[in-house]
Amino acid sequence: MLRDFLESLRPDKDLLLSEISKHISDDMLAKIALADYGQDQEQHFAALRLLRDKHIFAEPMHWYPCEVLELVRYSEPDGSPEPEREKEHWIRAFSSAALLRAMQSPWNYSADGASPSLSLIQLIGSLEALPINFSGSAVRFLAWMMLHPNLEQGDEQPIYYGIALLWLALRIPDLPFDQDLLELAEWVVRREAEIREGCPWAFDRWLLGIAHDPPPSKWEPLGTRLANLDLSGRSRELRNWIKLIGLELAGQSFSGA
C-alpha cells in the first residue's frame, strides 16, 4: 500500500529545514529581512534567527517572518550575477522549506496567497543548484507531507508532493523498488482524474488545470525532465508511467511504448 511505502521512507518533518539552516548565515537572514523594502527589518531578522536556530516560528508568524519568506520564495536566483547565485539559492531554499514546514502542525499556516506547489517547485530548483545533495532529507520530508492529509480526499496539492517525490526518489541509487514507485505513479494519475471529475471549471491541462496554474507553469520544465529521465534500469511499466506523467505535466502527448 502507498502509505506503507511512505512510512518505509522514514518520514521526517524537520530534518530538511534543519540541514539547510546549518548553511544559512546571519548575512543571508539579513537579506531576507530586507525583502519587504526594508520594512520592519529588525523584527523580521529576529524571527528569522529564531526559525533558523530553533526551528520555531514567532507569533504573529503571518507577518514575522512569513511575509518576507513569501517574497523571497518568488525570487529567481539564476538571473543574479554568478558570484551571488549560490547565496541566492541558499536563501530561496531556506525560505521555501520553511513555508512548507509552516503549513503543518503545530503552526498550520494558511495565509500564503500562493499554493504550496509554488514553494515546492522553487525549493526543488534551489536544492538542485546547491553544492550539497539534500535528496535524501527532501524525500523524507515529502513522505511526511504526504502522510498528513487523507490521500484519498482533499485538494490537488498532495499530487504535486507525489510528483516531486517520484523525481527525487528516482535519482537516488537503489531506492526504492520499482513496484513502490509504480504504485505512487498510479496514485498520482488516479487522484488527478478523480479531482478533475469534480472540477467542471478546470481548464484543459493535466494537473495544472485543476490547480488553476496556467502555463507557463514552473512545473512544466520538471515535467520535461521527468519524461526524459534515463530509466533504462527500471521496469518497462514504470518507465511508461513516469513518461506519461512527465509529458502530461509538460503539456505534451504520450503515445506509449
Verify cis geometry, omega within 30 degrees of 0, for the bond prior to 65: yes
**Rounded distance, CA 246 to CA 223, Å?**
4
Q: Which three cell numbers stand for residue 154?
A: 482533499
pLDDT digits (tens, 9 = 90+) for 87-145: 999 999 999 999 999 988 888 888 665 579 999 999 999 999 999 999 999 999 999 99
Q: Is the model's pLDDT at 148 over the cut of 90?
A: no
- Cβ neighbours of residue 108 under 8 Å, at least 6 residues apart? none
User: What counts of helices (H) and strands (E) characterise the chain?
Assistant: 12, 0
Using a pLDDT cut of 90, give the percent of the chain over it: 82
Least confident of 46-50, 91-95, 176-180, 188-192: 176-180
The pLDDT of residue 115: 78
Yes or no: say if 2 and 189 are a contact pair by the CB < 8 Å rule: no
Place of cell 546549518: 22
Name the pTM for this structure.
0.95
Highest mean pLDDT pick, 4-18, 96-110, 145-159, 241-255: 4-18
Length of the chain, in residues: 257
Q: Average pLDDT of the chain?
A: 93
Q: Averaged over 232-237, what is the pLDDT? A: 92
Q: Is the model's pLDDT at 67 over the cut of 70?
A: yes
Strands, E assignment, the chain:
none
Using a pLDDT cut of 70, give the percent of the chain over it: 96
| pLDDT band for position 149 (cuts 50, 70, 90) | confident
The pLDDT of residue 48: 98
Nearest to 21 by CA among 51, 52, 45, 47: 52
Q: Where are the chain's structural domains?
A: 14-134, 149-257
Q: Is the model's pLDDT at 60 over the cut of 80?
A: yes
Phi then psi for 118, rounded to 5 degrees? -70, -45
Q: Which three cell numbers stand for residue 235?
A: 521496469
